[in-house]
């Protein structure tokens, strides 16, 4: 970063960091610790940042906007959805278990999917114009695999994924220190250049792309308006004489 960098260049953008750790107490989450590195960079550059620890809320599994209409006694998702909808940037944080993202992360993806029928004022997915990334931590291989799964889900819903939009830290295979645990008087992972570099690059790419999309007013709706997509077609698919 140059000395004359405008630290408020991203004013007006909002980011939401959702931690899907299995820890009931979010303050004990190693994933939250690494997410905080990215969040701090954003805040220093004018982005308004919110954090959600999923297990602080009652969010049942399902693919509907409000699961109390489908047998559950309580569902805090409508409250969280307001934060998701308001954010230009969504960062999903997850630990690794058996090489996969957490079960809580899958619930988050299901609930995001449950809103995918909503459209913006251009007739596009409500997620168009938003960007997404992920933070992965653990003690086993799987960062890229989890990132692949999360990024596919977000992209399928309508989020835009910038280059190098994932970061993470894994210690030695098997039981051992997690990110931030004290080892020989130092927090594990804090001096890992690969992790810190990727976290920095991910964060800046999320901000850059979110600003580009915000300044452009999102995507043009030519050909991707769900209510009028046929107007953008070259071919009349309903015509029985159509041949591919």
The Cβ-side half-sphere exposure at 226, using a 13 Å CA radius, reads 12
pLDDT at 31: 95
pLDDT at 193: 87
Q: Domain 14-232: give its CATH code.
A: 3.40.50.360
SS3 13: coil
pLDDT at 1: 47
pLDDT at 125: 96
Percent of residues, the chain, with pLDDT higher than 90: 72
Domain boundaries, the chain: 14-232
Which is nearest to 56 in space by CA: 87, 31, 19? 19
Query: What is the length of the chain?
Result: 244
Q: How sure is the predictor about 34, in pLDDT bands with cuts at 50, 70 and 90?
A: very high
pTM: 0.90
Q: Is the pLDDT of residue 2 over 80?
A: no
Mean pLDDT of 131-147: 92
CA dist list (Å): 27 to 22, 57, 97, 135, 176:
12, 15, 19, 16, 19
Q: Is the pLDDT of residue 6 over 70?
A: no
């Amino acid at each position: 970063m140059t000395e004359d960098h405008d630290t408020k260049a991203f004013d007006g953008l909002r980011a939401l960091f959702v931690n899907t750790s299995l820890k009931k107490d979010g303050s004990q989450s190693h994933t939250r610790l690494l997410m905080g590195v990215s969040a701090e960079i954003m805040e220093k550059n004018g982005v308004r940042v919110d954090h959600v620890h999923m297990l602080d809320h009652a969010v049942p599994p399902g693919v509907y906007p409000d699961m109390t209409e489908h047998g559950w006694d309580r569902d805090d998702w409508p409250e969280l959805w307001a934060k998701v909808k308001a954010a230009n940037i969504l960062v999903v944080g997850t630990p690794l278990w058996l090489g996969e993202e957490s079960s809580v992360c899958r619930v988050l993806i299901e609930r995001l999917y449950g809103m995918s029928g909503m459209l913006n004022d251009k007739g596009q997915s409500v997620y168009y114009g938003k960007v997404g990334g992920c933070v992965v931590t653990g003690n086993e291989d799987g960062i890229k695999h989890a990132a692949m799964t999360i990024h596919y889900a977000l992209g399928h819903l309508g989020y835009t994924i910038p280059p190098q939009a994932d970061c993470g830290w894994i210690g030695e295979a098997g039981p051992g220190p997690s990110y931030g645990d004290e080892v020989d008087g130092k927090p594990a992972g804090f001096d890992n250049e690969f992790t810190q570099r990727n976290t920095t690059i991910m964060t800046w790419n999320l901000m850059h792309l979110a600003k580009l999309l915000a300044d452009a007013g999102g995507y043009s709706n030519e050909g991707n308006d769900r209510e009028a997509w046929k107007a953008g077609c070259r071919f009349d698919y309903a015509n029985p004489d159509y041949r591919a």
